[in-house]
Chain A
Amino acid sequence: MLRAILLIVRKDLTVEVRSRELAYTTLFFAVSCVLVFAFSLVQEGRAAEGVGAGVLWMAIMFAGNLALGRTFERERQSETLRALMLVPAPRPAVYLGKLTGIVLLLAITEAVLVPLVALLFESALLSHPFWLASVVATGTVGFAAVGTLFAAMLVRARSRDVLLPVLLYPITVPVLIAGVRATVAIAQPEFEVDVVRFWLMLLIAFDIVFITLALWTFEPVMTD
């Protein structure tokens, strides 16, 4: 099982390094999002109080949605997802392999987004990097956990491009809320550890519950 996961991740990385399509487009899209938000929200040269956190998470969710769609669109060419369903590895291994790939891709994007947002929105996001990294990591994993399952299950559905956000955003509302609230708490001048810890716990619980649920439902949902 582990070998299968590693092989899939390595394959995705190789494909990505060759074409670099996903990384560049996701990154560019995320940055454009931030710009769009900047133009909408910055008034008279100053951003509204605490808006940076919201912008960061919105950009992550929009870019994440795009990345998920593109990743599985690739597997749809030549029906390689079917080929992956045929291998002897337990099928949840395919889910975990793709999940790891998406999380890595989003991590790269976030590495650029966080300093960018901190800069453009004059937000003290980077004041507690360890906490921020934990929050962003757990939030991203939660979002990707649900997103990978949904994107995989929609691969053979009609209208899959528009259905993915329709399904994904309501379900990931807790991730969004927790992420934003925790980030706001981090960026505040008086740093309240308890607040951040509360939201972090929520995110961790979300991750555990939904990854488990996804592992259970992956096979029944993917086989006809």
Chain B
Amino acid sequence: MTSVEFDEVSAEDVSRHFGRRRAVSRMTFRASRGTILGLLGPNGAGKSTLLAMLATLLRPSSGTIRYGTLGTSSGPALRERIGVLGHDLFLYPELTARENLAFFAGLYGIADTNARARAALERAGLDNRSEDPVSSFSRGMRQRVALERALIHDPRLALLDEPFTGLDDASTGALVSRLKMLRDTGAIVILATHDLDLAEGLLDHALFLRDGRIVEAMTAPDALRSTYRSVIGR
């Protein structure tokens, strides 16, 4: 399968409604290679819906999403370059950490799935638990495995929904440096988070969302908390 490459992700006037509820309302933005874009906002602001649309899981009700010059109809080739860490972790509890990673690695077309799985587990600091079923892991450990699963195929676009949930300090630090490394290798990272302090040192750009709309966009953001409060007001 010829793989596709793209240098940026753009959303143009994108909306999505469910019946009468408008989850995302006319969002326009752009994210380029080698940047980390943060989606900040309260629950129900539309972060998860937007991420789902960027992941090609949901179709926008109106507007277009483009990956470079490609639209979402590029199908399988496009999906190969996207990695998603969802709210639910996308892991099979009965399988071991290694099996979970190897399974998805195989589905993403990687040849030596076991080696890749082991390397990923090492990065996550879980190689001593690789043969244990995921159901025996704590939330934080599962989150780490889930992150590795999302990134196992070196995606060009990484979409992360609340990746810091349940992580302790050490893991959080590891995740931050992992994301920075990802950015430095030229990936586009878009993450939704509640954790403003963490986001402060991490984000290159930030979008503040409220009620499905972008209310503020910042580049090289700082003083996130005060901006958040003034813009979101809660």
**Chain A directly contacts chain B within the complex, with at least one CB pair under 8 Å:** yes
Stretch of A39-47, A85-93, A105-113, A141-149 on the interface side: A85-93
Are A80's CB and B107's CB within 8 A? no
Are A88's CB and B94's CB within 8 A? no
B124 at the binding interface (Cβ < 8 Å): no
Chain A residues within an 8 Å CB radius of B223 = none
Are B103's CB and A7's CB within 8 A? yes
Are B95's CB and A78's CB within 8 A? no
Stretch of B62-70, B77-85, B182-190, B214-222 on the interface side: B77-85
> Could you say which of A77, A88, A224 contacts B80, with CB atoms under 8 Å apart?
A88
> Could you say which of B58, B103, B108 contacts A224, with CB atoms under 8 Å apart?
B58
B129 at the binding interface (Cβ < 8 Å): no
Are A15's CB and B79's CB within 8 A? no
Complex CA distance for A86 and B54, rounded to whole angstroms? 11
A19 at the binding interface (Cβ < 8 Å): yes
Chain B positions 74 through 112: 1 when the CB is less than 8 Å from some CB of chain A, otherwise 0? 011101101010111111111100010001101111000
Chain A residues within an 8 Å CB radius of B58 = 223-224
B126 at the binding interface (Cβ < 8 Å): no
B55 at the binding interface (Cβ < 8 Å): yes
A11 at the binding interface (Cβ < 8 Å): yes
Known contacts A7-B107, A14-B99; A88/B1 CB under 8 A:
yes
In angstroms, how far is the closest chain A Cβ from the Cβ of B28? 22
Are B94's CB and A18's CB within 8 A? yes
Known contacts A14-B99, A18-B133; A86/B84 CB under 8 A:
yes
A116 at the binding interface (Cβ < 8 Å): no
Are B57's CB and A85's CB within 8 A? yes
Chain B residues within an 8 Å CB radius of A89 = 76, 107
A118 at the binding interface (Cβ < 8 Å): no
Complex CA distance for A18 and B99, rounded to whole angstroms? 12
Give the residues from 151 to 166 in chain B that come closer than 8 angstroms, CB to CB, to chain A.
none
Complex CA distance for A152 and B77, rounded to whole angstroms? 23
B59 at the binding interface (Cβ < 8 Å): yes
Are B92's CB and A15's CB within 8 A? yes
Closest 9 CB pairs of A and B: A83-B90, A88-B80, A79-B88, A87-B107, A88-B76, A15-B94, A18-B94, A7-B106, A88-B79
